[in-house]
Amino acid sequence: MRTADYIALEDRYGAKNYLPLDVVLTRGDGVWVYDVEGNKYLDCLSSYSAVNQGHCHPRILQALVDQAQKLTLTSRAFRNDRLGEFYKVLCETTGYEMTLPMNTGAEAVETAIKAARKWGYRVKQVEQDKAEIIVCEGNFHGRTTTIVGFSSEPQYREDFGPFTPGFVLIPYGDAAALEAAITPNTVAFLVEPIQGEGGVIVPPDGYLRAVRDICNRHNILFMADEIQTGLGRTGKLFACDHENVRPDVMIVGKALSGGFYPVSAVLSSREILGLFRPGDHGSTFGGNPLGAAVAATALSVLVDEGMIENAARLGQYFQERLAKIPSPYVKEVRGKGLLIGVELKPEAGGARRFCEALQTRGILAKETHTHIIRFAPPLVITRQEIDWALEHITAVLTA
């Protein structure tokens, strides 16, 4: 089969809830992916930062294969011999006391919402069913009905209501707006330290410190969604580390499994996660031995192989070089580490055509929010590979 045949087959049976670039990939290795025609591309999306460790990392692959041959799923009705080790690696790497494993990012966000509400009722003594969680305009926390219910993006919500009450939207990056929105019923503030899907929006310096301080003063939980920004992407383990702040609740997913398998988790204190009792919450696949083995290895790989430092060093280099491209189309280059957004001027005619031009030159990047191209390659990228990419990006942005 050729590219057109694969596309026709997919479109014949599949719901069209995505508009992918018409490239049909069949193999991946590190920062490179290969299509069914034998073309090679530099992956500048990394599956929305799920493959920070690079495609098909050999150590993670080995952990997957070894575990798949032994035991894959027990459900949590029984214990398995991989879960404790995964918890230990995750908690020791991140410095949190406790964790609750799920599968997808959205499930982990839902879990964090439940934890915050339970903490609000049990500890803060908010009246039943009155808990409020403050969220930001431009947020992306996933696609469940509760989560899209507090999105500010009309398309994410349209035709999917009625929605879960109890969420309050405020502008992103505005600490004063957070303080003003707090009521006695506020239990938590849920925020991305950099808005990834929102267009790589970096809040003002000091924002996360101010948020930490406000949450302390008003006794509300600071919940960071680092599903995209976490695990090395921005050049630190967590994007919150750039301001040395520690959220009360940390949500991770995506690169937690190096792209092999859906694994997500909520990290927090004993005071908060210890509130869950048997039967309060669960997931058939959450915490399964295959996911646990994969995630424990994916985390070790990230740390052992210096990927976080590489993201810091080469991210800064990539961003500086992108900013120097003399393009008539570019409005701004921004980001942290290897999470970089290039915002185009409105008159550039949208980012899609630039992404299509990059595709013909062997670079896969995806537009976000019409005018922004995101460059987020796997964290194993080398300076030579970035230099190669810059030649082509320069050609496309100056054509």
- Please report, as ranges, the residues that interact with ligand PLP according to CB under 6 A: 48, 104-106, 109, 140-142, 192, 196-197, 225, 227-228, 253-254
Nearer to ligand PLP, 253 or 315 (CB): 253
Nearer to ligand PLP, 80 or 368 (CB): 368
Burial 300-335 (b: 16+ CB within 10 A, else e): ebbeebebbebbbebbeebbebbeebebebbeebbb
Nearer to ligand PLP, 3 or 144 (CB): 144
CB 20 within 8 A of CB 1: no
State the nearest-atom distance from the C-beta of 158 to ligand PLP, in Å: 19
Question: Which residue's entry shows tokens 């309050």?
Answer: 168
Kindly list the catalytic residues. 140, 225, 254
State the nearest-atom distance from the C-beta of 143 to ligand PLP, in Å: 6
Nearer to ligand PLP, 120 or 253 (CB): 253
Nearer to ligand PLP, 137 or 213 (CB): 137
Q: Give the residue closest to ligand PLP by C-beta.
A: 105
State the nearest-atom distance from the C-beta of 110 to ligand PLP, in Å: 9
What the block records as the tokens of 187 is: 């239990």
For helices 289-304 and 83-94, angle between their N-to-C axes, nearest 10 degrees:
30
Burial class (CB in 10 A: 0-12, 13-18, 19+), 369: middle
State the nearest-atom distance from the C-beta of 398 to ligand PLP, in Å: 31
- For β-strands 186-191 and 221-225, DSSP reports them as parallel
State the nearest-atom distance from the C-beta of 150 to ligand PLP, in Å: 12
The DSSP output letter for 256 is: G
DSSP assignments along 90-159, one per residue: HHHHHT-SEEEEESSHHHHHHHHHHHHHHHHHHTS-PPTT--EEEEETT----SSHHHHHT-S-HHHHTT
